């Protein structure tokens, strides 16, 4: 099921899709986007790669086990909740700090962003786990 055109296109599209997914994740808090969509875009990129080449090659290229991405994702989401807990707030209460980077301007970092990263990783892991496993049949 490998075709030259598809393989080439996939190779070209992959970086673009990844950048798009990071872009969606980064702006998701203030504009349409967010961890779910971004994770799905990244997942779709890997699915495309797996279809264009084959699942084994995609698995090698991903380097990490897709299932472990799920684990990291859940861990990140859980950690973001625990930070609030440790600071004496209810579980999952958002905590924010403001960074002033000279030259870049003000910058806000908060546990919801970590939580969204967890969602991103989980969704990515779930899509790749399912599609790779099915494609290898």
Partner 1 sequence: METVLAFVIGGLYAAAIYMLLRRSVVKLLIGLGLLSHAANLLIFTAAGLTRGRAPVVTAGAPAAVIADPLPQALILTAIVIGFGVTAFALVLVFRVYSTLRTDNLDRMREADA
Partner 2 sequence: MIIASVAAGFGAALIAPVVTRWLRHRAGWLLGTLPAALALYFASLIPQAAGGSATTARLTWVEDLGLSLSLRADSLSLLMALLISGIGALVVVYAGGYLKGHPALGALYAWILAFMASMLGVVLADNLLVLFVFWELTSITSFILIGFHHDNEQARAAALQALLVTAGGGLALLPGLVLLGMAGGTFELSELNLQAARIQSSPLFGPALALVLIGAFTKSAQFPFHFWLPNAMAAPTPVSAYLHSATMVKAGVYLLARLSPALAGGPAWAFSVGGIGAATMLLGGAMALAQTDLKRLLAYSTISALGLLTLLIGIGTPHALEAAMVLLLAHALYKGALFLVAGAVEHETGTRQAPLLGGLARAMPWTAAAAGLAMLSMAGLPPLLGFISKELVYESAFELGWPLAVTIALTLAFSVCVSGVVGLVPFWGRPKPLERHPHEAPPSMTFGPLLLGGLSLVFGLAPGLIDGRLAGPAAAAALGAPVALKLSLWHGLTPALGLSAATLVLGLGLLVFIRLMRTRLHAALRPWGSERVYQAGLTALNLAARGLTQLLQSGYHRRYLTIIVLTTVAAGTFTLMRSGAFNWPAADSPPGYYELGVALLIVAAAVMAVTTSSRLGAVAAMGAAGYGVALIYLIFGAPDLAMTQFLIESLTVILFVLAFHHLPPFARLTTVSERAGDAALALAAGAMMTALVLSAVGVQLYPSISPYYVQAAESLAHARNIVNAILVDFRGIDTLGEICVLAISALGVFALLKMPRRKAEGAPTPEADPQAETGR
User: How many Å apart are CA 45 and CA 43, to the nearest integer?
Assistant: 5
- The mark string for 44-63 relative to partner 1 (x by CB under 8 A, - otherwise) is --------------------
Q: Which stretch binds partner 1 (CB under 8 A): 46-54, 65-73, 100-108, 127-135?
A: 127-135
Residue 10 or 126 with smaller CB distance to partner 2: 126
Note every long-range contact of 130-137, with CB atoms under 8 Å and residues 24 or more positions apart, other chains counting: 131/43, 131/46, 131/47, 131/50, 131/55, 132/50, 132/55, 132/58, 132/59, 132/66, 135/50, 135/51, 135/54, 135/55, 136/55, 136/56
With beta carbons less than 8 A apart as the criterion, state whether 106 and 53 touch: no
Q: How far, rounded to the nearest angstrom, does the alpha carbon of residue 29 sit from its chain's CA centroid?
A: 15
Number of residues that bind partner 2 (CB under 8 A): 50
In the region spanning residues 68 to 127, those forming contacts with partner 2, defined by CB under 8 A, are 70, 73-74, 77-78, 80-81, 91-92, 94, 96, 108, 110, 112-113, 115-116, 118-119, 122-123, 125-127
| Dihedral angle of Cα 15, 101, 91, 86, to the nearest 10 degrees | 120
Contacts to partner 2 by CB under 8 A: 24, 28-37, 40-41, 43-44, 47, 51, 67, 70, 73-74, 77-78, 80-81, 91-92, 94, 96, 108, 110, 112-113, 115-116, 118-119, 122-123, 125-127, 129-131, 133-137
Contacts to partner 1 by CB under 8 A: 30-32, 36, 40, 123, 126, 130, 133-134, 137
């Amino acid at each position: 099921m490998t075709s030259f055109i598809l393989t080439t296109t996939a190779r070209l599209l992959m970086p673009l899709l990844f950048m798009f997914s990071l872009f969606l994740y980064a702006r998701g808090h203030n504009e349409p986007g967010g961890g779910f969509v971004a994770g799905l875009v990244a997942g779709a990129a890997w699915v495309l790669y797996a279809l264009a080449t084959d699942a084994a090659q995609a698995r090698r290229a991903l380097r990490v086990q897709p299932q472990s991405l799920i684990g990291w994702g859940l861990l990140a989401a859980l950690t973001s909740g625990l930070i609030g807990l440790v600071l004496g707030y209810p579980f999952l209460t958002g905590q924010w700090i403001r960074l002033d980077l000279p030259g870049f301007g003000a910058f806000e970092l908060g546990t919801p962003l970590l939580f969204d990263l967890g969602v991103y990783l989980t969704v990515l892991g779930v899509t790749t786990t399912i599609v790779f496993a099915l494609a290898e049949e």
